[in-house]
Amino acid sequence: MQKTDVIIIGAGAAGLMCGITAGQRGRSVTILDHANKVGKKILMSGGGRCNFTNYYAEPTNFLSHNEHFCKSALSRYTQWDFIGLVEKHGIPYHEKKLGQLFCDNKAKDIVNMLLDECAQAGVEVRTQCSVQQVDKVDDGFIIQTSQGKWHCQSLVIGTGGLSIPTMGATGFGYDIAKQFGLKLFPTYAALVPFTLTPKLLEQFAGLSGTSADALVSCNGQSFRENILFTHRGLSGPSILQISSYWQPGDAISINLFPDVDLYDHLKQIQQERPKAHINTVLAERLTKKLADRLCEIWFADYAQKPLAELSNEALQTIAEQMQNWQLKPTGTEGYRTAEVTMGGVDTDEVSSKTFEAKKVPGLFFIGEVLDVTGHLGGFNFQWAWASGYAAGQYI
């Protein structure tokens, strides 16, 4: 049997950061991952450029049943700490928008940086190593794996959630939590596109790939970025963001003209250009294809007439529909395309300082497996870095 101070299961963002931090403290650390290479989600994130953090990361960007839990770790390892690490390794990066930081080159730069740090800290990383059994013993844990048996004092679960199973995501971390009697919140896909009814998909046929700036609202939350029509329904940043607040059966509200009072705007155009048609006016802000299709679906009677012939009531109807489009998704695309998993290990079971399970000394949970989910835009990576670092100080 091989012996090491620390076993970390999961060689993703949180697991690697945790290993680096513990290794730098002189702990002997082995990171195990069942995948054939480390950091698969890092490599695919941000269109292959890795949105590795956000200038504006703060606790309000995270959802959890305990909104205070994330504060301690985020304050101890901030976005500026991770940016400092990126700069130390000479990795070029840029802000895309809204504080979102991306590699100039490829996400592999971040993975290589983490592996270099692991090597410098003496951390062993093993891939294609699946864990078959975990047992608690008096002086730690016995881990049975496809590459043999280990004994460790501290065991860290950094296995992530259920999103994107093609990247190797499994429910392993939740199974370990259940094995040791920890409470879990139900899990569901978040930061995920919506699916629509066949009737709506038929109406929007031909719009796949068309996007529009919109303010999307649901359950008291609003996000303004692009929406994107797809062959399954709706996606785009503002849709992914609101999906974290949506529950089955809820309608979402979409404002396609977030900068203006559309009724007043249409009244003004009616005075200035009485011969203009409604689809022409809408196409000045939306794409022509989208304006034409929405007029066809919603305003067929009005679209034939010049603005001069439309009543105030007609203009009000158009404005209301465009600025408060009520849409009820049939569901989401699920874990297949979800960026994160909502729910997971109840944070009340874990110390916010050390990330150790209160009931199971030596057992730690970090990253996405916990009931902490960030907004889109680099926040989930910042949670991985911060929680990994915090646990790494104590394992």
Q: Residue 108 has what pLDDT?
A: 98
Q: Residue 197 has what pLDDT?
A: 97
DSSP state of 193: P
Sheet of 100-103, strand order:
51-54, 100-103, 93-95
Q: What distance in Å separates the CA atoms of residue 233 and residue 229, rounded to the nearest whole number? A: 6
Q: What distance in Å separates the CA atoms of residue 162 and residue 168, rounded to the nearest whole number? A: 9
3 state SS of 34: coil
Instruction: Note whether 235 and 252 are within 8 A (CB).
Output: no
Q: What distance in Å separates the CA atoms of residue 2 and residue 359, rounded to the nearest whole number? A: 26
Nearest Cα to Cα of residue 174 among 163, 124, 166, 375 = 163
DSSP state letters, 98-141 = TTEEEESS-THHHHHHHHHHHHHTT-EEE-S--EEEEEEETTEE
Q: Residue 119 has what pLDDT?
A: 98
pLDDT tens-digit profile of 215-272?
999 999 999 999 999 999 999 999 999 999 999 999 999 999 999 999 999 999 999 9
Instruction: Note whether 344 and 174 are within 8 A (CB).
Output: yes
Q: What distance in Å separates the CA atoms of residue 152 and residue 40, rounded to the nearest whole number? A: 26
3 state SS of 209: coil
Q: Residue 303 has what pLDDT?
A: 85
3 state SS of 211: strand
pLDDT tens-digit profile of 271-320?
999 999 999 999 999 999 999 999 999 999 898 899 999 999 999 999 99
The strand pair at 363-365 and 148-157 is best described as parallel
Domains, the chain, ordered by start = 2-188+341-392 (3.50.50.60), 194-332 (2.40.30.10)
Ranges under pLDDT 70 in the chain: none
255, 64, 163, 89 alpha-carbon torsion, rounded to 10°:
100
Which residue blocks in 160-282 are alpha helix, DSSP H? 172-179, 198-203, 237-243, 262-272, 278-282
Beta-carbon count within 10 A of 306 CB? 14
